[in-house]
A and B are shown apart, each in its own frame.
Chain A
Amino acid sequence: MIRRLIALAIICLITPTVVQARPVSYTGGWTFIETSNRLSTAGLLHYTINPKVSLGLRHERMRDADIDMTMAQGTWLVKRWFGKDYQANVYTMAGAGTISDNSGMSSIQETGSFLGVMADWETRSKFVSYESRFLDKGALGSQSMHAARVGWAPYEGDTGSLHTWLMVEIDHREQLKEDTTVTPLVRFFKGAALLELGYNLTDPSPLINFTYRF
């Protein structure tokens, strides 16, 4: 366990971010999710208490706005559909915590909260998802995000082999100048680790997401 925590800390240092692919795991499982996109870098470490609920701690840094948020997050698997060849899920998530705006001469502290919904459908070679989040930053304002993805796997990897997906993500953030952007990305998936690398073509910036289950 100590070696895993050290590995996790190293990952956090190398990739100063954190959070969201399959936000509820198996009972008793830990998951670390890191996300880094054109706006922010975020990380979520969560523990799944039962097959429908995970609880975790999330930290997000909005790089340009110089805002840091640390929040407790709960995720609820509302519904999972099982098929012989597919799986579909609807999740809701909510969090609350502190927000620090460091852009001025002195830091402003606020309490904040967010609410989100996520849905996905996937087979071994096709993937569709949608995610929406609303963030209330108290006196610092609010913002919303919508993102949709489609993906295709050029081959079906078996257990433990390298799985590869080609995906396109479209995100919409009405508070930004470039409100709608397109990001092609590649997802690599092997065992308990998932890595996504992409590049936002509309608002040039890299996308780096990483998920690890243990």
Chain B
Amino acid sequence: MKYLLTALLVASLPIGVSANDHHGSMDHSMEGHDHASMNHDDHDHAAMNHDDHDHSAMEHSGHDMSPKHALLTRTSDIDKALMAGGQPVVVDVLGVVCDFCATAMNKIFGKRQEVAAVYVDLDKKTLSLALQAGKTLSDQDIEKLAEQAGYRIAAIRRDSEAIGG
């Protein structure tokens, strides 16, 4: 059994994680640091130590156009839906820490006929949606659906705000 445990520990090393790294070309350097439109009830920034990400002192050369918020995560299904004229929506979600969270939101949002494609990004803590062409989902609907999945949203961005255009 000791050998089995050792083997399991070795197996736990992060082999193969990069195979799912679909963010290689995305710039996340400014993510999550400007939350002006977000609900701060659960994380009082006034009391937080922001020393570790003081952007005023950072070297920003080479990425002056970095988005202030996380953008839509692009998957082939989302790209296909956008090409068909669907609206891009990106939602900042609180409490998303594991694949069960992602499964819950994929199931709940994926059932809606207005939604053409959905992806939960644990790194960015966002829900990316591409709506069916000509369809829409109100902010209230998105909020309600997130609650049904067991989560709470902090902000919703659409169209150019979602894709950084």
Contact = CB atoms under 8 A, between A and B. Distances in A.
Whether A and B are associated in the same complex: the answer reads yes
Interface of A: 22, 24-29, 50-51, 77, 80-87, 122-124, 154-166, 184, 186, 188-192, 194, 197-199, 204, 206, 213
Contacts of A156: 122-123
A154 B119 contact: no
A194 B100 CA distance: 9
User: Closest 6 interchain pairs by CB?
Assistant: A155-B14, A26-B104, A82-B95, A82-B94, A87-B95, A164-B12
Given A26-B104, A84-B32, A159-B122, A123 B97 contact: yes
Contacts of A164: 11-14
Given A156-B123, A164-B12, A189 B99 contact: yes
Interface stretch (B60-68, B77-85, B130-138, B144-152): B144-152
B103 interface: yes
A83 B32 CA distance: 12
Contact of A25 (B99, B120, B150, B151): B150
Secondary structure of the B contact surface, majority rule: mixed
Contacts of A190: 99
A51 B149 contact: yes
A26 B97 contact: no
Interface stretch (B16-24, B49-57, B157-165): B16-24
Residue of B19, B32, B148, B150 with most partner-chain A CB within 10 A: B150
A159 B20 CA distance: 8
Given A157-B14, A158-B123, A186-B5, 15 more contacts: A24-B150, A26-B108, A26-B149, A26-B150, A80-B150, A82-B42, A84-B43, A124-B98, A154-B14, A157-B99, A158-B20, A158-B21, A160-B20, A163-B99, A164-B12
Given A159-B119, A161-B20, A84 B154 contact: yes
Given A83-B43, A158-B122, A122 B94 contact: no
A53 to B, nearest CB: 11
Contacts of B8: 186, 197
Contacts of A161: 16-17, 19-20
Nearest to B23: A158
A86 B95 contact: yes
B94 A84 contact: yes
Contact of A154 (B12, B95, B107, B123): B12
A114 B152 CA distance: 31
B95 A166 contact: no
B42 A199 contact: no
Given A158-B17, A186-B8, A199-B1, A84 B150 contact: no
6 contacts: A25-B100, A80-B150, A82-B94, A84-B125, A154-B14, A189-B100
Residue of A83, A84, A164 with most partner-chain B CB within 10 A: A84
Contacts of A160: 20, 99, 102
B36 interface: no
Contacts of B16: 161-162
